[in-house]
Structure 1
Amino acid sequence: MSNVHQFTSKDLILETACNWISAIDRGLSKDEKEQFTLWMMQSNAHQDALYELAHLWDEISVLNELSNLFPHRNSKQPKKRWLVSTSIAASLFAALMVCSYLLINLENGYSQQLAKVNYTKIYKTKVGEQATYALPDGTIVQLNTNSLLEVAYSKGRRQLLLNRGEGRFNVAKDASRPFSVMAGNKSFTALGTVFNVQRNTSSDLELVVTEGKVMITDPSVAVDASDFKAYQSADKNADKIRQINANIVASGEKAVIEQSITKPITQLSIDDVERDLAWQNGMLVFNGEPLSDALNEVSRYTSTRFKLSSEELASIKVAGVFKAGDVAGLLESLHTNFAINHERQGKHTVTLTQNTKS
């Protein structure tokens, strides 16, 4: 349960790589060699960062900046040559040391460990953009507007992190590598599944399952292949599910999580499913929502923001089908059906008022 993959930003990877090059240059202790080996075998991105920085090492301006940002850990052995013309020799030495350690790792059988990390990538969409991606295992991911997804596949697990936005996951079956999507402070594990996760905030999430089942847990619960079949066949009342405080959501059901608390699972009608997932066809469907809620949803797909002139206007119930991002069409429909007028204030703000004339 402790080998959950940690998602690391590029900036943090580069910072760590700088620290390792500095440490290699002054000499690694036995413990540091082990830590360096483990860090290098975690991801190809770690190796790429080391090589990139090694190539930059002979740029004296970069070298000086690195020496300021990442000073030597061992102050008893200062290296004056960082700031002098012998920096090129230092760069070659550091690069050779990096290569030497990589070769040692391979000779000691670490190549097999490195091979466990099969795939890592970041996918993202802009405001108003939707995109579909095929992952190496055959899983299809469709991202909604303004979404950010990190993917990390290893030999024993497929883990994804939805940093923001919304995604639909058509999961390729592979019992040897469980598939989990982490969003906010929840983890959604596919049990042979097509499902949709919407992240509103870190503690407010929505899950809609359209095929199979999904198990909701805390992110600290890592599902291994040995556990997968038991979870897959378990129902929501099984002891194994209760032990990890999990919830099971089946096809045609929806889970709403508010303030980190999973509300009672609800059964959806076909119309409910079509409305919740209309974005996958580039559409928005409203069926009696308050105008304020409908406009908040519209705003996810555009830079336009709406100001309502009154609480009465905000509470008007609206219904209809709109193309995501089509602000002009929405405003025209509001004017035609509800006598709601609009006025643009600046480039991205629209004020709405209701015509009360008889």
Structure 2
Amino acid sequence: MRKKRTPQGSPVTQPSPPRPTAAAPDARARAREEALDWLIRLQCADAHDTQAFEHWLGANAENAEAYVEAEALWNGAPLRQAAGQLHQRRRHSLGGRLRRHWKPLASAAVLLVGLFTFGNLPVRLQADHLTVVGERQRLQLEDGAKVLLNTNSAFASDVREGRQVARLLQGEAYFQVPASSQSVLEVQAGPLRASVHDTDFAVRYLDGEAQVRVQRGDVDLQGARDQRIRLSAGDSISVGPQGFGQRQRPDLRHDLAWIEGRLVFENCPLSQVLAEVRRYYPGWIISRNAQLEQVAVTGNYRLDQPLETLRALAHITSAQLHEYPALVILN
């Protein structure tokens, strides 16, 4: 207790302020949601908004902590300023369908996605064919081989000394090499070199590592340090800078479901499912619950509807889904 004197000098007793206590989980979650909302509103705030924000920020410690966390999510003040400037330049073209405080969020999200999309610009400049996030593209090479490019992929091909050479610079591709092909097709993807004839197989090349999955026929592989191995139908192997991984026999009905436009999972942790869905969603997908990411998921989804997939995942895992332009958050 503490004492305070009245103007007449007589002491009165006032209760001491309560000691801060640890925030309950629901209070922290609410503070995070409010922080994200404030992060959006402050992009086009007036004096009333600024005053209300200062009041909210000083109301309790978890609010300030949540706001710092939300600000870090958007990579700090420089990004917010850039997004605000982008919004000012494009405010007449965005239309009136979005609420006023969502427009800077859309600009910021698009800016972030753009940074990641064009960060590999030198690789993409080497490509003859490109796919954007969520797009697939069918190609036919000069020797008769067919190629299906998956999402966010870069591909080039040419003929060297009478031999067709295909280079997967980034992403994923499915090759169908017919028996009628007059020559062996050489496929390159980072450290991987594959020689194929009369074969159907897929190559995924991401983050410096190539993954090969053979659906039909045989594939002769060469890795780092001149290592060599032959894969047969049903085999899969990874190839990195250090050489080959272990030969595996995965369920290709799941791993190659993307060829038919599907994403298929069986008892997969949600973290792995989200990692795959991120490849097809043109924005950010953020999971804020580590325990939720360990929930096993089984399902069959359309890869051209990633947002519907996220809504279904939220439903079956009892997660909260927060949708913003080019941003989805799972709690």
TM-score (norm 1): 0.54
C-alpha distance in 1 between matches for 2:292 and 2:224: 41
Match of 2:85 in 1: none
What are the ranges of 5 or more consecutive residues in structure 1 without an aligned counterpart?
A: 1-119, 221-243, 354-358
The structural deviation recorded for 1:175 is 7.6
Query: Is the 8 Å Cα contact of residues 195 and 221 (structure 2) preserved in structure 1?
Result: yes
Q: Are residues 1:350 and 2:328 paired?
A: yes
C-alpha distance in 1 between matches for 2:196 and 2:152: 23
Match of 2:132 in 1: 126
CA deviation vs aligned residue, 1:139-163 (integer Å, no higher than 9, x gap): 1111101111110123431111100
Letter in 2 for 1:169: F
Q: Structure 1 residues 258 and 289 mapped into 2: Cα distance closer, same or farther (>3 Å)?
A: farther
Q: Structure 1 residues 252 and 217 mapped into 2: Cα distance closer, same or farther (>3 Å)?
A: same
C-alpha distance in 2 between matches for 1:179 and 1:151: 10
CA deviation vs aligned residue, 1:120-153 (integer Å, no higher than 9, x gap): 9812211110011122221111110111111012
Match of 1:70 in 2: none
Match of 2:317 in 1: 338
C-alpha distance in 1 between matches for 2:157 and 2:252: 26
Given candidates 236, 247, 251, the residue that maps to 1:265 is 247
Query: Is the 8 Å Cα contact of residues 143 and 182 (structure 2) preserved in structure 1?
Result: no
| RMSD over aligned Cα atoms | 2.2
Matches within 5 A, 1:207-356: 207-218=212-223, 244-268=226-250, 272-344=251-323, 346-353=324-331
Letter in 1 for 2:220: M
C-alpha distance in 1 between matches for 2:192 and 2:269: 29
Query: Is the 8 Å Cα contact of residues 192 and 239 (structure 2) preserved in structure 1?
Result: no
C-alpha distance in 1 between matches for 2:315 and 2:182: 56
Letter in 1 for 2:297: V
The structural deviation recorded for 1:257 is 2.8
Q: Structure 1 residues 216 and 162 mapped into 2: Cα distance closer, same or farther (>3 Å)?
A: same
Q: Structure 1 residues 258 and 319 mapped into 2: Cα distance closer, same or farther (>3 Å)?
A: farther
CA deviation vs aligned residue, 1:249-308 (integer Å, no higher than 9, x gap): 11111112355431121224xxx1111111111110111111111111101112132222
C-alpha distance in 2 between matches for 1:210 and 1:129: 22
C-alpha distance in 2 between matches for 1:121 and 1:201: 17
Any idea what SS the aligned residue of 1:296 has? Answer: helix
Any idea what SS the aligned residue of 1:137 has? Answer: coil
Matches within 5 A, 1:32-181: 122-173=128-179, 177-181=183-187
Query: Is the 8 Å Cα contact of residues 186 and 193 (structure 2) preserved in structure 1?
Result: yes
Any idea what SS the aligned residue of 1:252 has? Answer: coil
Q: Structure 1 residues 218 and 332 mapped into 2: Cα distance closer, same or farther (>3 Å)?
A: closer
CA deviation vs aligned residue, 1:77-123 (integer Å, no higher than 9, x gap): xxxxxxxxxxxxxxxxxxxxxxxxxxxxxxxxxxxxxxxxxxx9812
Q: How many residues align?
A: 206
Any idea what SS the aligned residue of 1:165 has? Answer: strand
Match of 1:206 in 2: 211
C-alpha distance in 2 between matches for 1:207 and 1:310: 32
Q: Structure 1 residues 125 and 175 mapped into 2: Cα distance closer, same or farther (>3 Å)?
A: closer
What are the ranges of 5 or more consecutive residues in structure 2 without an aligned counterpart?
A: 1-125
C-alpha distance in 2 between matches for 1:131 and 1:197: 15
Query: Is the 8 Å Cα contact of residues 137 and 172 (structure 1) preserved in structure 2?
Result: no
The structural deviation recorded for 1:325 is 3.6
Any idea what SS the aligned residue of 1:150 has? Answer: strand
C-alpha distance in 2 between matches for 1:219 and 1:191: 22
Letter in 2 for 1:297: E
The structural deviation recorded for 1:219 is 7.7
CA deviation vs aligned residue, 1:314-340 (integer Å, no higher than 9, x gap): 111111011114233223312332211
Given candidates 185, 190, 194, the residue that maps to 2:191 is 185
